[in-house]
Structure 1
Amino acid sequence: MVPRDDSLQSISIQLDAKNYAYWSYVMKNFLQTMWGIVIGDKKKPTDEKAANYETLLDSWETDNSKIITWINNSVIQSIGTQLAKYDMAKEVWDHLARLYTQSNFAKQYQLEFDIQAIQQNNLSVQEFYAAMSDLWDQLALIEPDVLKAFKPYIDRREEQRLVQFLMALRSDFEGLRGSILHRTPLPTVDSVVHELIDEETRIKSHADKAPKTFTPAVFFVSQRPQSSNQNRPRVAFDECAFYKKKNH
C-alpha cells in the first residue's frame, strides 16, 4: 500500500493501547515505501558537501513529517500527546513499541479473555460482529505461520468462532441460535451474521407493529367511617305484618 499524498488522511484504525499488534500491522503496510525511515535504515542526510544534499534533506524531512502526522492521526488523543516530544519518526515508532509490545502468550491471554467476556447487550448484530471480528483478527496475527497454512486448524478455528459468537448473542435470537447449532455441516460465521441481521429486522418490524397496550387507571373510593353519635334519631319503620310490632 503506497502512502497517500494527503498527510491529513487518517488511517482506518486507531491505536488504543489494546490493539497494538493489529495497528502496527496496518501501519507497516501503509508506510511500506517509507519503512526505512521508520526503522532507522534510511537516516537523515548529514553530508553537507554532497551535490544533492539539499534535495535529499528536504525529501527526508518531508517524509519524516508525513510519517509522524500519519501516526498521530492513527492513535487516540491520550497516546498522541505523549509523542509531541519526538522529532523523528523512528523515535515515535520505538516509543510505541516499548509501551505496547507484549509477548505473544500475554497478548493471546488478553485477547482470549476479551473474547470470552464480550456480550452483544444493546449492540446491533452488525456492530457486535465488527467488535468480535476485531478481536479475532488481532488473535490471528499472532498465530504461527505453520498453523495458518493448516486447513484442519483453520476449519476448527472457524467452528470456535461460531460458538463464541452464538454464545454472546442476546436471548432474542434463542430460536435461531438453537437451529444453527443443529445444522450439519455448520455454517460459516459470515452466513450466520446474514441470517441474524434478517432475524433482527423481523423482530424489530414485529415490535413496531404490535398494538400498544394501556393500563387503565384504577380509582379507589374510601368508605366513610360510621358516626359514633348515639343521639342520632332513628328512622321509624312500618308495623311488621306478622308480629304486629314496629321497628321489626
Structure 2
Amino acid sequence: MVGASSSDDKISNLDLGNPLHLQTSDFNSNTIISVKLTGTENYRVWVAAMKLAINTRNKTGFLDGTCLKSTYANSAPLSNQWERCNSIVLSWLLNSVSEELFLGQIFSDNASEVWAELKETYDKLDGSITFNLLQKIHNFKQGELTVSEYYHKLNSLWREFDIMTKLPKCSCAAREDVSKHNQLIKLMQFLMGLNDVFQPIRSSLLARETLPDVKDAFAIISREESHRGIASSSSGSVTKPQVSSFVAKSNSWNNNGNKKFDNNKRVGNSTNNRGPNPNLHCTNCGKVGHTVDRCFDIIGYPPGYNKNTGPKSNGPRTFNANSVSSSSEKGASLSFTNEQMIKLMNLINEAPLGNV
C-alpha cells in the first residue's frame, strides 16, 4: 500500500508542462479533430489539424519520438504513465483515419511509429495532386451556398494549395509583389465563382482604379447579400408572373352598340343578347347585320363556326358577340383563336363612329 501511495504521489506531482501529465478530458476524447485521413489527397490538411490538436495537449513528443519510454525506465510509475499516454495518443490517431487505414494500423503499439509510417506513405506530392487541387479551385462555384459558405470553402482550398506549393521564405522586395499577385489571382477566382445575381456589384468592383483584396471584396458582397435578404423578407412573397389567356381591354363593342365586352369574360356570353344590328349593311356580301370590315367572307370564320347553320337575317351572321354566342343554343362550343381575337379588336377600335 505504501508503494501504491508513493506511485500516486509521483503521478499527481506532474505539472502541465510534463508530457506525461493527463487531464480528465484526454480520457474522454475518442477523436480530437473532425477531419479523417483518407489518403494522399487530404494528408496535408489532416496532419496540420492533428499537429495543432496534439500540441495543445502537450503530447507532440509522442508523435515525433522525442518523448521516449526509456527516459522513465528507472521509475515504474512513470514508465506505466508513459504507456498510458502513448495509448491515448495512438487512439487519437487511429480514430482520425478512415476505416481502411484503421484496419492497417490497429495492431500497432507505438504512436510515433504510426505517425512516421503515415507520413512516409501519404506525404507525397506529384503533378496529379497539384493539378486536381487547382482544377477543383477553378471549377468551384457558389451555387446554392451563401456568400460566406462559398468564400470560406474556397479559402480552405487556397490554404491547402499554398501549403502544397509553399514558396521559400524571403525578405527581398519581390516578396510584396508576389503577395499582391497571389491576392489578385484569388480575387478573380472568388469573383468568377459568384452567382450571376452579383454581376452588377462584381462589375463595380472590377471597375475600380485600385482593386480590393479578396477579403474586402468578400465583405462588400456579403453586405450586398444581406441587403438583398432584408429587402426580400420585407416585401413578402414574390408573385410570379402568370401566363393569362386573352382578355379584352375594351368596355364595349364601340361601333355596333351590341353587348359590352367585360374584362375576364369570353366572347359568346349570352347575357344581354340583343341579336344583330339591322341598321348595318355589308357592301361585300349585300347582307345586313354587319359591315364590310367585319364580314366573315373577308376576315374568315372562327373555328367551329358553320356558316350554313344558325339563324340568318337576310344574309350571313353578323360579326359581333351576339351572332357568335347564338350558336351555343344549338350545343356548339365556339371560340376564337388569339390571332382572330386580336384582329377583331383592331377592327372594332378602328371602325368609324358613323357606322353606329
Whole-Å separation in 2 of the counterparts to 1:172 and 1:87: 56
Partner of 1:186: 211
**Higher mean displacement: 21-30 or 182-191:** 21-30
1:146 corresponds to 2:169 = yes
Are 1:22 and 1:137, in contact at CA under 8 Å, matched by a contact in 2? no
Partner deviation per Cα, 1:11-59 (whole Å, 9 max, x = no partner): 2544344332132123223334333322334334499xx541x223222
Whole-Å separation in 2 of the counterparts to 1:165 and 1:95: 37
1:212 corresponds to 2:239 = yes
**Higher mean displacement: 3-12 or 94-103:** 3-12
Q: Give structure 1 stretches of 5+ with no counterpart.
A: 229-233, 241-248
Instruction: Tell me the CA shift for residue 177 of structure 1.
Output: 0.9
Are 2:147 and 2:222, in contact at CA under 8 Å, matched by a contact in 1? yes
CA, structure 1 residues 122+184, in 2 after alignment: closer, same or farther (shift >3 Å)?
Answer: same
User: SS state of the match for residue 190, structure 1?
Assistant: helix
Q: Which residue of 141, 147, 159 corresponds with 1:137?
A: 159
Instruction: Tell me the CA shift for residue 60 of structure 1.
Output: 1.6
Select the structure with the greater relative contact order (CA < 8 A; seq sep ≥ 6): 1
**Higher mean displacement: 178-187 or 209-218:** 209-218
CA, structure 1 residues 107+147, in 2 after alignment: closer, same or farther (shift >3 Å)?
Answer: farther
CA, structure 1 residues 79+167, in 2 after alignment: closer, same or farther (shift >3 Å)?
Answer: farther
> What amino acid is aligned across from residue 152 of structure 1 in structure 2?
D
Whole-Å separation in 2 of the counterparts to 1:203 and 1:98: 50
1:60 corresponds to 2:82 = yes
User: SS state of the match for residue 210, structure 2?
Assistant: coil
Matches within 5 A, 1:4-23: 5=23, 6-7=25-26, 8=29, 10-11=32-33, 13-17=35-39, 18-23=41-46
Q: What is the root-mean-square deviation in Å for CA atoms of aligned residues?
A: 3.9
Are 2:94 and 2:106, in contact at CA under 8 Å, matched by a contact in 1? no
1:201 corresponds to 2:223 = no
Instruction: Tell me the CA shift for residue 107 of structure 1.
Output: 4.3
CA, structure 1 residues 137+238, in 2 after alignment: closer, same or farther (shift >3 Å)?
Answer: closer
Are 2:37 and 2:98, in contact at CA under 8 Å, matched by a contact in 1? yes
Are 1:119 and 1:168, in contact at CA under 8 Å, matched by a contact in 2? yes
> What amino acid is aligned across from residue 66 of structure 1 in structure 2?
I
Partner deviation per Cα, 1:89-127 (whole Å, 9 max, x = no partner): 123323432442122655433332221121111111111
Instruction: Tell me the CA shift for residue 203 of structure 1.
Output: 2.6
Matches within 5 A, 1:155-170: 155-170=180-195
CA, structure 1 residues 73+178, in 2 after alignment: closer, same or farther (shift >3 Å)?
Answer: farther
Partner of 2:52: 29
Partner deviation per Cα, 1:143-189 (whole Å, 9 max, x = no partner): 12325872221121111111111111111111111111122322121
Partner deviation per Cα, 1:191-237 (whole Å, 9 max, x = no partner): 1111111111223334442631363776999x8797x9xxxxx9998
Q: Give structure 2 stretches of 5+ with no counterpart.
A: 1-16, 247-265, 269-302, 316-356
User: SS state of the match for residue 60, structure 2?
Assistant: helix
CA, structure 1 residues 64+172, in 2 after alignment: closer, same or farther (shift >3 Å)?
Answer: same
Identical columns (%)? 25
Whole-Å separation in 1 of the counterparts to 2:310 and 2:240: 50
Report the TM-score when normalising by structure 1.
0.73
Partner of 2:142: 120
User: SS state of the match for residue 59, structure 2?
Assistant: helix
> What amino acid is aligned across from residue 11 of structure 1 in structure 2?
I
User: SS state of the match for residue 108, structure 2?
Assistant: coil
Instruction: Tell me the CA shift for residue 66 of structure 1.
Output: 2.2
User: SS state of the match for residue 86, structure 1?
Assistant: coil
Instruction: Report the number of matched residues.
Output: 231
Whole-Å separation in 1 of the counterparts to 2:123 and 2:131: 14
Partner deviation per Cα, 1:119-148 (whole Å, 9 max, x = no partner): 111111111111111111112224123258
User: SS state of the match for residue 211, structure 2?
Assistant: coil
User: SS state of the match for residue 146, structure 1?
Assistant: coil
Partner of 2:133: 111
